[in-house]
Structure 1
């Protein structure tokens, strides 16, 4: 069976069995290109999904942040081993953190010891239930707000001790980019990543924006806690048990101010542009060799975060043995109304990108697409 046919079967399964309203995949293998879709872009009109849609890429934006930092290092403007206090004195010296011990490398590898920012009660309370989401969906937050949020809970580990996925580390990295350059985070990502790679349909979403350019799909979410959930009791291990029961109609969350994502993942793009981006990151077509090696110096991750994966600097490398003996590299992200994932080979010639207009439901979607496109069965 051809890869395209296998991919289409996965898309159809994702809509029929996983509960995704609409999903798209774009794949490139040398000169071969393919675009597939299943489901709808709009559940009210029944409009189909189509090529060239602008979508939110979620935490894929972390890779843009890491690439911008590494480009600055290549120019001698900073070092990954610089402490946070060198650039942002005192920002981390609260609530048990030590800005003289946490480095930029720690921030980008999620080994800083910062707690999982997405579980902060201040953030969870704002979007925890459907009613609260509707009330706060237009809220705009500032960089100062985000830096405070990053240290609003005590450390979960010593710097370098272990992996803990934390948006807060990337907020701090974004602020360091601005301090070092004197320019905005968005300007530096545009200058050092987007423009050099010719990503003409990619941008860091302005903090005041809550919509998307056309064409774009509607976004739908069931990512809400049950009524009465104590958000302070939610952890990285138990959050799934707190989610509202299945069967409720999804909420249309298309218009949503995502300024709280900022340098932790607020990039809007297309599947075509993101294939070019993941290929460049996987193969080293953007960064000098020294910085490319640093990006791909990886740490282990817990299975509850993502199975078969190690984490570099803002990016993922999959276990070679589990991936049929080949090295695959990727990026992705999920939040209200969006699930984005892309993966490619080391030579930068074979990759795919997918987007679902609802949040992550299961890693099976991404893994089945990898199996179909790259022609292997994932090992246990």
Structure 2
């Protein structure tokens, strides 16, 4: 069965390059037959270098699981509680946006039920990414960005994916410990798991260690579009997919920070996911908290997926009786999906050096790995 899985995953990789316009894609599979690594396409469109194992990859919002795990480790140490209101640690920070920091808890920040708006599409952030690729965002600026638009719901009322909650969580980590976010992620996650090729990307970084794939944006904004006018409603219609891919490898990603600032490899990300999925990193109580899912009314981007604390889990009915857990993330020029069964026995990590245009790639990977066609 394992050999068939590998063949089917390779077929998805080949399809992604030939049919879906992906420059390059890799997959690392761990199953009963051991470890298998597959690749298709190129890491560099100009030079034609093939994708390879051990590449350093920006994993985008998969980094939220590192932030959540760090917070949960601090909870296990008795240094904070998930039920602490934000004002306990960051008094007054939320008030400028009309938020009540006495009602919004750390748990709300981590499971996206805080009522914060969809930070990723804030006009000032999109304008910065599009026109100021070297801008370095400070922690103070990110916290202000998080509350720069009014609440969209009451705390605990609705799941709305908001990077801003993780900016605040990162700031709380620093306030509680007196250390940097980077230092605490290293102490609580990276070093305990021996993730020797994983790090928090420095705020001023514009490159990656070798080897790494170039990062590409599939379509630029249509001519004449002002990035400041982008909204969740008009975003898709503003992209011109007929324009050639743009190399954005040197893009500064300081705006990711605690919401998505981790660089890793397929091997390290596999080790991390297996540890958090099986209970190998956190004590039982905190492991349970991480995998306590919230109702999301179908707004998590993959069918049958629900959200916990920085992680996703597919309902067993949708996955044919399997409990499949994972993390995922996108940012300009990068897409990562990491999945494994809750016993850690069957896992896959994929990465594309462009953001896929549709859900076809992850859905095909899920079918190849777990034999389930999600709809």
Question: Once the two structures are superposed, what CA deviation does each residue of 1:286-323 show, in whole Å capped at 9, x if it has no partner?
Answer: 00110011111111335454122100001101122222
Q: Which residue of 2 aligns with 1:287?
A: 282
Report the number of matched residues.
372
Which has the higher mean CA deviation after the structures are superposed, 214-223 or 267-276? 214-223
CA contact (8 A) 1:20 1:356 kept: yes
Q: Is the 8 A contact 1:223 1:336 kept in 2?
A: no
Alpha-carbon distance in 2 for matches of 1:77, 1:350: 35
Deviation (angstroms), 1:253: 0.6
Larger deviation: 166-175 or 341-350? 341-350
Alignment-derived partner of residue 263 in structure 2: 268
Pairwise CA distance, 1:327:
1.0
Give how far 1:191 is off.
Answer: 0.3
* 1:30 CA drift (Å): 4.3
1:322–1:379 Cα contact (<8 Å) kept? yes
* Alignment partner of 1:61 is 2:69: no
Q: How does 1:105-184 map to 2 (within 5 A)?
A: 105-128=107-130, 132=131, 136-184=132-180
- SS in structure 2 opposite 1:344? strand
Name the CA distance, whole Å, in 1 between partners of 2:283 and 2:98.
Answer: 36
Partner residue in 2 for 1:365? 361
Give the TM-score normalised by structure 1: 0.95
Cα distance in 2 for partners of 1:236, 1:61 equals 23
Partner of 2:87: 85
Cα separation, partners in 2 of 1:72 and 1:31, compared to 1, 3 Å:
farther
Q: What's the CA shift string for 1:90-130, capped at 9, x where partnerless?
A: 001122101001000000000000000011111111234xx
**Residues of 2 paired with 1:222 and 1:37: CA distance?**
20
Aligned mates of 1:100, 1:186 — CA distance in 2: 27
Aligned to 1:329, what secondary structure does the other structure show? strand
Task: Report how far residue 281 of structure 1 moved.
Answer: 1.3
How far apart are the structure 2 equivalents of 1:61 and 1:217?
19
Please state whether the residue corresponding to 2:140 is helix, strand or coil: helix
Normalising to structure 2: TM-score of the pair? 0.96
Q: Secondary structure at the match of 2:263?
A: strand
Structure 2 counterpart of 1:299, from 288, 291, 294: 294
CA pair 324-215 structure 1, distance change in 2 beyond 3 A: same
Q: Matched residue of 2:221: which SS?
A: coil
**Counterparts in 2 of 1:1-380, with a 5 A limit?**
2-30=4-32, 32-128=34-130, 132=131, 136-222=132-218, 224-229=220-225, 231=227, 234-244=230-240, 246-306=241-301, 307-374=303-370, 376-380=371-375
Whole-angstrom distance in 1 between the partners of 2:219 and 2:148: 23
For the residue of structure 1 that corresponds to 2:171, the secondary structure is helix
Give the Cα–Cα distance (whole angstroms) in 2 for the partners of residues 223 and 170 of structure 1. Answer: 28
1:193 aligned counterpart, secondary structure:
helix
Secondary structure of residue in 1 paired with 2:16: helix
1:359 Cα offset (Å): 1.4
Q: 1:164 to 1:223 in 2, by over 3 A?
A: farther
CA deviation profile, 1:47-88 (whole Å, cap 9, x unmatched): 100000001000001000000000000010000000000000
**1:127 touches 1:224 (CA, 8 Å); kept in 2?**
no
For residue 31 of structure 1, report the CA deviation from its aligned partner: 5.5
- Residue deviations 1:255-290 (CA, integer Å, cap 9, x gap): 111011000001000000001111111111100110
Alpha-carbon RMSD? 1.4
* Other structure's SS at 2:7 match: helix
